[in-house]
Amino acid sequence: MRLWRIDTPAQTMVLGSDDGMACCHYWGAPLPGGTDLDALVAAAAGGITGGMLDALPPLSLVPEARRSFPGQPGLVAFQNGLPLEPEWRLDSADQGNTLTLRHVAPGLRLDITIRAMDHGLIGLRARLSSDAAVTLHHLALALPVPAHLSDLTELAGRWTREFQPVTTALDHGARLRDARTGRSGHEHPPHLWLTAPGTTNTGGEAVALHYGWSGGHRMLVEALPDGRRQIQLGHCSGSERAPGTVFETAEIWLARGDRGLNSVAVPFQRAIRDALPPARRPRPVHYNGWEAIYFRHDATELAQIAERAAALGAERFVLDDGWFGRRDDDSSSLGDWTIDPRKHPQGFKPLIDKLRALNMRFGLWFEPEMINEDSDLYRAHPDWVLGPADQIRGRSQLHLDMARDDVRDHLFDRIGGILGAWDIDYVKWDHNRLTPFPDTAQTRGVYALFDRLRAAHPQVEFESCASGGGRIDAGILTRCGRVWLSDSNDAIERLRIQHHAAMLLPACVTGSHVGPRECHTSGRVLPMALRAWTAAQRHMGFEMDPRELTTAEARTLTRVTTWWKANRDWMMAGDIWRLDRPAGSLAEMQVSADGSRMVVFAAQIDAPVALQPPLLRLTGLDPQARYRLTMLEHPVGHHSSSVALSRGAVTLNGAVLMAQGVALPPAFPQTIAVIEGTRL
């Protein structure tokens, strides 16, 4: 038996091999430095358990059917029409900052790499290579699931209702999701976590896994009759459509913590923030005109809107869909990336000149991967469409074959020409329909185009939008510094969406806008204080016709925007800590990187059961330090009782704020309290 150990400050992984496939013997809480690994594995074989160690046969990192494994295999492939069932043996291993385990079989090689990442995460990846062509159906890495982590929480959703948690008890059988939409998806974003019973945001044991790939993925969680349980992550099945000789999974990120969901969420936020491409500092307040004008582009109206948005505090103006071809609705012109002379007879010059005078920057919307049949590009190149001619249409559009060099070259020339000709520092990159079939070559092609455009135009920042939050993952976030979390600007929906997305995403990457008074996706009318403070919890922006605002609404929005600008630097570099609150309410706190500053947002969404809300217990503070708290926004409600924060600043030590908490005033539904804090 050969053994290897990967350590981070938060977890330890012990791997072993009997000259077959490498197996995972232990992953969990950090082991003491002097732990005898041979004794550890012997204890497991002898039925002694401790921590997350199971008294069961270890699980291969790529489970093999040929070894009579009773569960789902990690490799399904075919060669010359026959199932590929190699007899692997360990060939060599290199361990430095990254452990590489090399396995060989006749004509085949499988490399598994495991690395200790910053912030206590572990990264795992597999690479299969073959001397002769192989048709790959499925390749995934597998990890054992300890028995005491009995609950699986996945993120599900749909358009305008992304990032909704769904929890399942892992008692027997298998749970499989095969996300085959060609993007990471509203339905099954590739992030999940396992928890022990009773785990909350601030207490209990949790493990989180993320698959950093922008195409479809496959997740399997399986409980075997012998008591073993496995979790697999890889590309979606059948997404390698062409035979090949080299295949690779994306990297799995793994985090473990024993102080609640925050102990795995914050490391992911930090890892994502570290991976982002360089961005403009300070982060500018956005204005996006989509829900003000849609496809209607009028120079006079755009100038009026820009003046009003700038007066409210906007620093970047994003011109959305409708500026190109003959794009008067969503049925035409995708692919024709030339400025519409009917709407912009002098190009973008008048608008850019206006924005410069207002000290605003200019951003532009593209949907590069798509094409309409009513377009010059389709009439010239119908062969560039991905999929059969009789496929079902989505949003009146088809998908370009991004695996083709000539398609990417054309897009690079057209998009790059626009970016080079005009003073544009921001691109909202949209993706509004699904692929007709899953294909990893599409995702690789998109990555290649992104990388080429970014190298040629380093001044341009990119945002990932896919019908809202349909493509959000670690793969796209090495290329895009911002994501459009949802097409819903309903503040109630946004509160929920961005609260759950904080299991993965830091504030700096998460776009959040103040929408119209009457939300266009829900019909709901919400007070400006709630709308503005919801947007101020992330990368703030506006997306409405600012001319509709009343004097009072404009005053509130300007006040909140001014506050956000004064605090954005430390907020965008800090951590989001979710707080435990009763059903019908949400609360979280954002803490600066040095722990000296914080802000708490406590929203009352539904009518509370009790008039006086329970004490708000904070987390992540220095228990010995003293903190001064000030109520910045008082919620609207029955002020039948007076709490200290309503009367003025309160000073308490961290231990009290975490163990007991601080009292909030009674609040009506659809209101929010905002509390600033400073460490003394």
Residues 93 and 4 sit within 8 Å (Cβ to Cβ): yes
Among residues 625, 619, 628, the alpha carbon closest in space to that of 660 is found at 619
Query: How far is residue 249's CA from residue 212's CA, in Å, rounded to a whole number?
Result: 9
| Gyration radius from the chain CA atoms | 26
Q: No. of H helices and E strands in the chain?
A: 13, 35
- Active-site annotation holds for 430: yes
CA distances from 172 to 147, 346, 479 (A): 12, 65, 40
Write phi, then psi, for 261 (nearest 5 degrees): -65, -30
Query: How far is residue 540's CA from residue 429's CA, in Å, rounded to a whole number?
Result: 18
CA distances from 45 to 55, 223, 355 (A): 6, 20, 69
Give every strand in the sheet of 12-17, ordered side by side: 2-7, 12-17, 23-28, 59-60
Half-sphere exposure of 295 (CA within 13 A, CB side): 13
Query: How far is residue 101's CA from residue 99's CA, in Å, rounded to a whole number?
Result: 7
Choose, from 54, 320, 473, 487, the residue flagged as catalytic. Answer: 487
3-state secondary structure of 553: helix
DSSP string, 610-639: SSSPPPB---S--TTSEEEEEEEEPPPS--
Q: Residue for token digits 């009995």?
A: 150
Residues 152 and 192 sit within 8 Å (Cβ to Cβ): yes
Dihedral of CA atoms 221, 52, 8, 104 in degrees, nearest 10, equals -60
3-state secondary structure of 614: coil
Query: How far is residue 237's CA from residue 295's CA, in Å, rounded to a whole number?
Result: 39
In DSSP terms, which residues pair with 474 in a beta bridge? none
In DSSP terms, which residues pair with 166 in a beta bridge? 154
Which strand (E) or helix (H) includes residue 353?
helix 349-357
- Active-site annotation holds for 54: no
Choose, from 321, 401, 430, 439, the residue flagged as catalytic. Answer: 430
Query: How far is residue 439's CA from residue 388's CA, in Å, rounded to a whole number?
Result: 14
Which strand (E) or helix (H) includes residue 659?
helix 654-659
Query: How far is residue 416's CA from residue 557's CA, in Å, rounded to a whole number?
Result: 36
Query: How far is residue 147's CA from residue 402's CA, in Å, rounded to a whole number?
Result: 43
Query: How far is residue 537's CA from residue 535's CA, in Å, rounded to a whole number?
Result: 5
3-state secondary structure of 270: helix
β-bridge pairing 89-95 and 82-83 = unpaired
CA distances from 168 to 176, 178, 192, 236, 263 (A): 12, 17, 11, 21, 21
Give exposure, 639-657, as e/b (b: 16+ Cβ within 10 Å): eeeebebeeeebebbbebb
3-state secondary structure of 348: coil
Which sequence positions are flagged as catalytic? 430, 487
